[in-house]
Structure 1
């Protein structure tokens, strides 16, 4: 039985789970289970489903429900905390989905605030508060203005942290470091993680962050960096991160680009059967494919 997690337990390396499809674009449940089983062996601290890297806008409701159940059952009893993202733009639907995921036994939630048709700041705040009040498990409030077009000030986010002790904050504005410092100055008790492929991983840890939420195709590299940092081996952490940086800087040029790259790496590592991404997506070039081969060889994946 998984333990009950508090906000401060949501830390470390917490990859976003990719969504395997068959070559015809249907869900590949076998590859999904294999991917989860693989992640459970990588010594990551957690895993999150239905993030942007999970291609969540390209799933229907039936698929989401099935995947949610598979996710919780496959990782039951594993050392990972299991989180699922609530991405609905309706407050009422988001509350229902949050309660449903909690009822399945998930350890934490992630919440993408609504941005479609540009709701008012007050409406967004009420949406966040409603979901936080609907459950008592940790909720990672996601701040991704580049993807959503939605700006939230550090002071506004700090108000959420003060009001809801079970809130966690995934900050991925670009760059996130100064924003995080200002946020933590207002809410020093808050737990912060960073996504954005770990581009700012070490800077965010130095600023007071508690972990990183990258993609899932080379989680072992992030685990190694995180362990070096935990042991105070700053030079080793920086050297490894510096080796990774040119790759992720290129691939993070567009969300669809890195989603496709991550899927292709998973396929080449024989973790999933197909690297198919649902359309519209990103077509890799011959140069991209060559770089992926070099990456896998360089890091001995």
Structure 2
């Protein structure tokens, strides 16, 4: 089952721009040490559009090997065409991953029949998959309405989960769960966990945020599941300033924070994202310091750096 906190792993790069397999192992170790319930790779937060097919395959193999069966791995398999998506799904199966996350290509639009035919085509070409239908907002996603999603789920039993991250995500989650067929195992929230409490209140079974606050998000999830709504809300409110900034700076913020935490050795980014200037960096560092007492997984050197600020 996919539930709880399943972060999307960033792609680490060396200073020369090449992928960094050793750093990917550190990211997985950090995720596991944080108590996550699964990991996702690659996704939007992995700068997936900047990765070659070979880089995706190599890093997914590293992730699977480093996870070593301790938690589920979800392989991102979205692509611009049905044929490419099928190829990514086969790569996932070859790596030992049976759960894939797929967004309908923007090129087919949001037509109900076209989207259903796409997912049916994937399921028929690669039997045995469990699919997470990712519904991202425009312009990167197709912004599918709940009726279209329900039509796909009913027609394609291989779709076992929906990752709903349109804006606002809450009403869509409510609509999907109200009429979900029995084989749909759950709806997972996205959007960087910026709306996680509303998503959980509406019945979402988990969230797929970025990685940098994984231990805080796990603590929030556990508090919610234990019925401690006050603790969950407190953790959410303290995380929110960083998550708001993350919406602007995306993986640059993720990697900057992970360097602060001693997990990454640099914050190299391939994807076109806003640069961090001294003012934005200071803003991020200030809010990071505000939540440092909640971060339980931190190498000693990183902890000393936080204490010295």
- 1:214 and 2:209 aligned: yes
Residue-by-residue CA offset, 1:55-111 (whole Å, 9 max, x unaligned): 000011221121121111111132x11011112122122123212211211141100
What's the CA shift for 1:236? 1.0
2:235 aligns with one of 240, 257, 260 = 240
Question: Structure 1: how far apart are the matches of 2:172 and 2:110?
Answer: 22
Partner in structure 2 of residue 185 of structure 1: 178
Partner of 1:298: 290
Alignment of 1:68-217 (within 5 A): 68-78=60-70, 80-116=71-107, 118=109, 121-133=112-124, 134-167=126-159, 168-187=161-180, 189=182, 190=184, 191-217=186-212
Which secondary structure does the structure 2 equivalent of 1:139 belong to?
Answer: strand
* Secondary structure of the structure 2 residue equivalent to 1:193: strand
CA–CA separation in structure 1 for the residues paired with 2:271 and 2:157:
39
Q: Are the structure 2 counterparts of residues 288 and 23 from structure 1 closer, same or farther at C-alpha, using a change threshold of 3 Å?
A: same
- Gapped runs of 5+ residues in structure 2? 296-309
- Asked if the contact 1:20–1:32 (Cα under 8 Å) also holds between the matched residues in 2, the reply is yes
1:249-264 paired onto structure 2 within 5 Å:
249-253=244-248, 257-264=249-256
Match of 2:11 in 1: 19
- Please tell me the root mean square deviation across aligned C-alpha atoms, in Å: 1.8
Distance 1:250 1:69 in 2: 31
Task: Output the CA distance in 2 between the equivalents of 1:117 and 1:102.
Answer: 25
5+ residue gaps in structure 1? 1-8
C-alpha displacement at 1:120, in angstroms?
Answer: 5.0
Structure 1 residue 298 displacement after superposition: 2.0
Match of 1:6 in 2: none
Q: Which moved more, 1:156-165 or 1:138-147?
A: 156-165
Q: TM-score, normalised by structure 1?
A: 0.90
Give the distance between the partners of 2:140 and 2:109, measured in 1 at CA. 9
1:118 Cα deviation (Å)? 4.3
Give me the whole-angstrom Cα distance separating, in 1, the residues matched to 2:105 and 2:260.
35
Give yes or no for contact 2:135–2:141 (8 Å, CA) kept in 1.
Answer: no
2:64·2:73 contact (CA, 8 Å) conserved in 1? Answer: yes
Q: Select which of 282, 285, 288 maps to 2:274.
A: 282
1:228 corresponds in structure 2 to 223
In 1, distance between residues paired with 2:139 and 2:32? Answer: 29
Q: Deviations over 1:8-42 (max 9, x none)?
A: x1110000000101122111111111111211111
Deviation digits for residues 183-232 of structure 1, max 9, x if unmatched?
11221643100111101111111101100100011101110110100100
Distance 2:32 2:275 in 1: 30
Answer whether contact 1:81 1:107 (CA < 8 A) is retained. Answer: no
**2:299 equivalent in structure 1:** none
TM-score (norm: length of structure 2): 0.88
Aligned residues: 289
**2:153 and 2:181 in contact (8 A); partners too:** no
2:42 counterpart of 1:50: yes
Distance of 2:286 and 2:140 partners within structure 1: 33
Whole-Å separation in 1 of the counterparts to 2:69 and 2:140: 35
Inter-partner Cα distance in structure 2 for 1:86 and 1:76? 21
Residues 115 and 152 of structure 2 are in contact (CA less than 8 Å); yes or no, is this contact kept in structure 1?
Answer: no
